[in-house]
Amino acid sequence: MEVRNEIFVSVDVETSGPIPGEYSMLSIGACLVDTPETSFERTLKPLNRNADPEALAVTGFSLQQLEQCGTEPRQAMTEFDAWVKAACSEGDVPVFVGLNAPFDWSFINYYFHRFNGENPFGFTALDIKAYYMGVMGCSWRDTRSSAMTGCLHPTQKGNHTAVQDAVYQAELFRLTREYRQNRGK
């Protein structure tokens, strides 16, 4: 079996609601897990005016403002695809990493397929919460980011800005991975 180098990419999105297609992805933030200073960030024009007021309150975005200054979704996904591919050498496999990855991946996957024709991450994602639960042997409740922070002591913090949240969750993943590696010693 061929062993391919895995490039872990931390991805976070901010959205106007709970499901892709009906609601819009408003921003994408991503960074390489092992070199988080290598990052990507875009705000997007909304697909429509559907919005959950609580989601908009969390993001701080205005749909009207994004309609004027956001990047067209096709362009944003083309640029994100190019960034992911540039981060990988020939034969490398990009791995989508997220804190509550099913949510973020659902929007990324929908947008990649709708506007780019394919998803460079394929059809899978690595969820930091599930990984942490397996490494720590803890309950699902103990996978909240506040509980993870209390145990792992990251230097970064999340703030509902997609790129900053991607950097924060990349650190949580690195610290969990280091904990697993050191536990065996």
- As annotated, the active-site residues are 160
Q: How many CB atoms lie within 10 A of CB 150?
A: 10
Which residue type does 125 have?
Answer: A
Instruction: Give whole-number Cα distances, 16 to 31, 66, 173, 179, in Å.
Output: 22, 11, 26, 35
Contact 115, 80 (CB under 8 A): no
- For residues 175 and 181, give the distance between their C-alpha atoms in angstroms, rounded to a whole number: 10
**Distance from CA of residue 62 to its chain's centroid?**
21
The 3-state DSSP class for residue 58 equals helix
- For residues 158 and 123, give the distance between their C-alpha atoms in angstroms, rounded to a whole number: 26
Sign of CA dihedral 163, 69, 67, 110: negative
- For residues 144 and 155, give the distance between their C-alpha atoms in angstroms, rounded to a whole number: 17
Q: Which two tokens stand for residue 38?
A: 């290598």
